[in-house]
Amino acid sequence: MKDFQLIVNFKTYENATGTNALELAKIHQKVAEETGVGIAIAVQAVDLRHIAQEVGIPVLAQHFDFVKDGVHTGHVTAQALKESGAYGTLLNHAERKIELDDIEESVDLARQLGLFTIVCADTPYTGKAVAALNPHMVAVEPPELIGGDVSVCSANPQILMDAVAMIENAKVVIGAGIKSKEDVAHAIKHGASAVLVASGVIRSMHPEETLKELAQGVIEGQKGAVEHTL
């Protein structure tokens, strides 16, 4: 499994769709190569195949439906994503929530197919519950801060502390409103394995420069974490 510290969700922004998505994905790969920071991207299902064929960084789906082959018109299956070159998937994002039972079945199916799973949770307590289902990562994101201008690290840093303390069965990802190098460094220094960002990069006028800043935050956070343990 590849190691990554930045996860960028392309969502359905126009400048992260189709040809634009591919160009943006190439920028992410370039920054990953130049900085040495692991970067993964989550793209729309219709863009996944052509992006996965063109870049070497992990390409995630934003969701899949827990159905197998057969009579399920309009659904996106895990099998189809795997065949399209998906490295893994987000599940239960605040904008695409699913029931706990469906999370468990989806995580099990993804593991059978060799797909990496990042399950989103709205609180550390929910994160602890979904961690028991054995995803690879649990992303804690307070919904009220997603897409906003105030990051979880500034608004309520205790959420990060609680998530790191409570979630033992999976690596912790922190997200919601994270847009600055300082936010990223704080999250990594205090125990998060990765950060999940979206609009801070996708809506940036200069996404490459923004990504480089966030990658520098990872580097500084990792250095701070080492110094903290000495």
156 is written with which tokens?
A: 């309520």
Q: At residue 67, what are phi and psi to the nearest 5 degrees?
A: -140, 155
Distance between CA atoms of residues 168 and 216, nearest Å = 27
Residues 13, 203 contacting (CB under 8 angstroms): yes
Residues 116, 58 contacting (CB under 8 angstroms): yes
- The residues that are catalytic are 93, 141
Q: Which of 15, 24, 62 is nearest to 42 (CA)?
A: 62
- In one-letter notation, the amino acid at residue 137 is M
Exposure string (b/e) for 220-230, b if CB count within 10 Å is 16 or more? bbeeeeeeeee
Distance between CA atoms of residues 22 and 192, nearest Å = 28
Output the CA angle 161-165-169, nearest 5 degrees. 130
Residues 178, 213 contacting (CB under 8 angstroms): no
In whole angstroms, how far apart are CA 49 and each of 21, 87, 111, 157, 229?
Answer: 12, 11, 20, 37, 42
